[in-house]
Structure 1
């Protein structure tokens, strides 16, 4: 039995990223596991714990029975409380315990994926704190996206850049570009007839234009718009950090070139983060 061909890109991206995470953390000293990341309140250990925890839930394992401390400032709602349980329960784990559990989890999840011959449209329960069902295709794409973004969190925290244009990076580009119409038309409230261009350079390069129709609905394409309402030019890593809420727009203002309607540009940047 093999995975459906249309699911293979997401499986390949997930495999590449989670194995890269394993290689990154395997040689770390105990002190390195405590390095802070751009995820609020999370260390290197916490990011890896989160990755392990979600994969364990994808395997169908029961969630840990664990009471969170009351002083976690970054835990602000039910979703973050749900996510934090798998993280906090591992905060006392040693480096060896972390790497061993990660390796064992990768082996089991890889086996599960290899033996999965379900249709891409099969409904599956999404494990992260909801009873909602998603298609298998969307679930695997989301996992590949999440794992690659966390690989990059770890790389920045550890000072080991790389893999910005890996299979996970290209999948993430498509996920984030797909969110642009909502960001521009709905969240930022761009007016009918507005065009917003994004020129992204670096290891991953693309030019996309969001167009808002007369009904206020947004669409995105790869064509060039002459005289757009707003034009952004920035590097791929900065785009990623903004879109995933790792950094606030004012902190990277020197890395983002903006032309056109300043008020709309500020509204778009304020709404740019699309991850929880």
Structure 2
């Protein structure tokens, strides 16, 4: 298939996002590295270490190296989350003995290799990992890679939020992230009852945002970019609220109160319970 047919293009953005990360980390003071973040128990340095872990896992996988397998069976989504949380915690703890300067050097080196691997990927081949938060058991590579992009984006944004240095909530970098997150909405709404034809408009405000439409068919909810008819519910939220609520960076009720819902309120509220990360 032609490259322009990729539904969400992110491959070309990895080097840019990576450069932004390295510039950010090199600008931090010693105190900045220890600041708390929205990622619960993790400091700025812990998130940087987690980003390095992501690079190293992808590079190692390209060497046909399986890594650390689960010690027990993974039979459910919660089992998978527990396994990943254990891997993440062990890595972050070990990296606390590494200096911020060395950590930055590692990220700069591995980030380039990571981006090269993404650039070589067959975007329409089966992905090595499914996008589980979207309810998929099997995914296509472009979606898996877009999910990887959201990981890099939101963790860098967590660091920026912690140290008061913005710079990536732009149309170029933010829109592909939120567009990917929205792909999880049909799965998040799978138990929400509504008549066939019910339509929810989701608007992320500002130049970096856009409009998405969630339509109830006879069988399920589907995501579309076109309204087709007047929506029953309109949900409007800012980019800052959107990335936080979908990554558990803000309480759903707090996000709801900072946003606007018109029309059928009940249909709109469920949006704020979607989580587009493995958590």
Instruction: Please name the residue that 1:175 is paired with.
Output: 180
Structure 1 residues without counterparts, runs of 5 or longer: 66-75
Instruction: Please name the residue that 2:199 is paired with.
Output: 195
Measured against aligned partners, the alpha-carbon deviations of 1:189-248 in whole angstroms (never above 9, x if no partner) come to: 44433221112212313122211012333332332642x332211212212211222111
Post-superposition offset of 1:84: 2.2
Instruction: Please name the residue that 1:57 is paired with.
Output: 57
1:206 aligns with 2:210: yes
Distance 1:133 1:262 in 2: 33
- TM value normalised by structure 2: 0.79
CA pair 77-249 structure 1, distance change in 2 beyond 3 A: same
CA pair 193-16 structure 1, distance change in 2 beyond 3 A: same
CA pair 189-45 structure 1, distance change in 2 beyond 3 A: farther
Post-superposition offset of 1:187: 4.5
Residue in structure 2 matching 1:217, options 208, 221, 246: 221
Q: Does the Cα contact within 8 Å between 2:199 and 2:213 map onto a contact in 1?
A: yes
Post-superposition offset of 1:111: 4.5
- TM value normalised by structure 1: 0.79
Q: Does the Cα contact within 8 Å between 1:13 and 1:171 map onto a contact in 2?
A: no
Paired residues in the alignment total 255
Structure 2 residues without counterparts, runs of 5 or longer: 70-80, 132-136
Distance 1:81 1:189 in 2: 36
Distance 2:139 2:109 in 1: 26
Post-superposition offset of 1:253: 3.7
Instruction: Please name the residue that 2:264 is paired with.
Output: 261
Q: Does the Cα contact within 8 Å between 1:26 and 1:99 map onto a contact in 2?
A: yes
Q: Does the Cα contact within 8 Å between 1:202 and 1:236 map onto a contact in 2?
A: yes
Measured against aligned partners, the alpha-carbon deviations of 1:36-89 in whole angstroms (never above 9, x if no partner) come to: 111121111111111111111111176589xxxxxxxxxx82221122222222
CA pair 217-136 structure 1, distance change in 2 beyond 3 A: closer
Residue in structure 1 matching 2:252, options 232, 246, 249: 249
Say which is worse superposed, 174-183 or 30-39, in terms of deviation: 174-183
Instruction: Please name the residue that 2:276 is paired with.
Output: 274
Task: Determine helix, strand or coil for the equivalent of 2:10.
Answer: helix
